[in-house]
Amino acid sequence: MSVTTRRMQDLTVEDHTLTVPLVWRDDNDSRTIEVYAAVVSREGGESLPFLVFLQGGPGSEAPRPYHAPAAPSWLDAALEHYRVVLVDQRGTGRSTPIGDADLARGTDELVEHITHLRADAIVRDCEAIREHLGARTWSVLGQSFGGFTTLAHLSTDAASLREVFFTGGLSAVGRHPDEVYGLTYDKLRTASERYYRRFPHHRDTVRRLADLTDAGRIVLPDGEVVATSRLRSLGMLLGSNDGWQKLHHLLDEEPHTNAFRHDLADALPYDTRNPLYFVIHESSYADGFATRWSADRVEPDDFRDDVTLLTGEHVRREWLDTVPGFRPWKEVTLALAEHEWPKVYDAEALRDSDAHGAAAVYVNDLYVPLEFSLETAALLPGVTPWITSEHEHSGLREGDVLPHLLDLAHGRRVR
């Protein structure tokens, strides 16, 4: 265990590193990893209650705090009421990160290790951090996959949670990943058509680009020959508040230029900075199932026939061959796709959790469908849903989302 303290203008940041078991609740397994958390407070707020932030992903570390105006954008509002705990989820950031160097361990060993990086294990890490900080209870803010992890926390340790705040929807509970990805295709179909109604000339642009990718004529700066399925995954941009602007700018560029190639590389979802995001992405919806390339298997016929229908957070098996940075991960990823993941949520425990808080549920969410979010919200009557079309999945980055959830949870008047 190590703790250091640093000052950043009006912020105090305590860096905490704990050694925890790789496999919780198995006394016969002595393997350990490190888990890192930054505790951020403002002058005068050193005794405020804790709010732990759980990042989206899976496979991404927590944001790093900066001085006022604080970043991330929601941090200022949080620091008015809490000391904020930014946790690097196991396998990311400063929490024994998984990267290309780990491939040397061999496929079987690495696959087995990665199976211990799910939400249920992250919950156990959080409990260890909470006890280390001497807090009887704390509050949780979970964005997207971080919210999924919060549901796992409520399934096993609800007594530790004073309040829960969800942004970016609520995970489906007990549903097969095929059901989730089938519905996300419906969302992307609607989003694609909405975009083309505003910018009809870009439909022909996407067709021309797809002709180029079919011919292997779009090559990124790192040497990736862009597959058509990769090009179509630009629909991921439509899931954020201002992503359509980035998409519009990209589609207005000439595809033979350096600008287009570099901007396309920057816009495509999934990269090798955080390989876990690709490698175990579908497992985030595997509540007691193997995924077996769910998004590939349930792709609707009209998406197979119409290259202008954009896709989003749908991972593709073929990228293991077409994306240079993913090729070394092929055997690991294929093995994990066949892994029978245990259940991570308990619907009865959620009903009995007496959870209190609020949840931002976005009507047009392309990644966490509204329908399943509402189904799960019904298990948590003490969590007030804010159902809004003002934001896309990235809404937490806007200044009004967290204050609105705090008002809802604390019974203050809201507009």
Q: What's the rounded Cα separation, in Å, for the pair 147 and 10?
A: 29
pLDDT value of residue 70: 58
Looking at residue 111, its amino acid is V
Please give the structure tokens belonging to residue 151: 């549901």
pLDDT value of residue 69: 60
Looking at residue 31, its amino acid is R
Structural domains of the chain sorted by starting position, each given as residue range(s) with its CATH number in brackets: 2-173+343-409 (3.40.50.1820), 177-337 (no CATH)
Which of 226, 310, 311, 220 is CA-nearest to residue 266? Answer: 220
The neighbour count for residue 216, using CB atoms within 10 Å, is: 11
Q: What is the pLDDT tens value at each position of the chain, 415 positions in all?
A: 788 988 888 899 999 999 999 999 999 999 999 999 999 999 898 999 999 999 999 999 999 987 556 578 899 999 999 999 999 999 999 999 999 999 999 999 999 999 999 999 999 999 999 999 999 999 999 999 999 999 999 999 999 999 999 999 999 999 999 999 999 999 999 999 999 999 999 999 999 999 999 999 999 999 999 999 999 999 999 999 999 999 999 999 999 999 999 999 999 999 989 999 999 999 999 999 999 999 999 999 999 999 999 999 999 999 999 999 999 999 999 999 999 999 999 999 999 999 999 999 999 999 999 999 999 999 999 999 999 999 999 999 887 999 999 999 988 755 5
The neighbour count for residue 351, using CB atoms within 10 Å, is: 13
Q: What's the rounded Cα separation, in Å, for the pair 345 and 68?
A: 38
Ramachandran region, residue 165 (left: φ > 0; alpha: ψ -120 to 50; beta: rest): beta
Strand order in the sheet with 11-21: 2-8, 11-21, 32-42, 83-88, 50-54, 138-143, 161-167, 357-362, 383-388
Query: What are the b/e assignments for 59-95, b being 16+ CB within 10 Å?
Result: bbbbbebeeeebebebbbbbbebbbbbbbbbbbbbeb
Write the CA distances from 71 to 79, 97, 145, 314, 331, integer angstroms.
11, 23, 20, 29, 38
3-state helix, strand, coil in the chain (%, to 5): 45, 15, 40
Q: What's the rounded Cα separation, in Å, for the pair 120 and 127?
A: 11
| pLDDT tens per residue, range 37-64 | 999 999 898 999 999 999 999 999 999 9
**Does the N-terminal peptide bond of residue 255 adopt cis geometry, omega within 30 degrees of 0?**
no
What phi and psi values does residue 300 have, to the nearest 5 degrees?
A: -70, 160
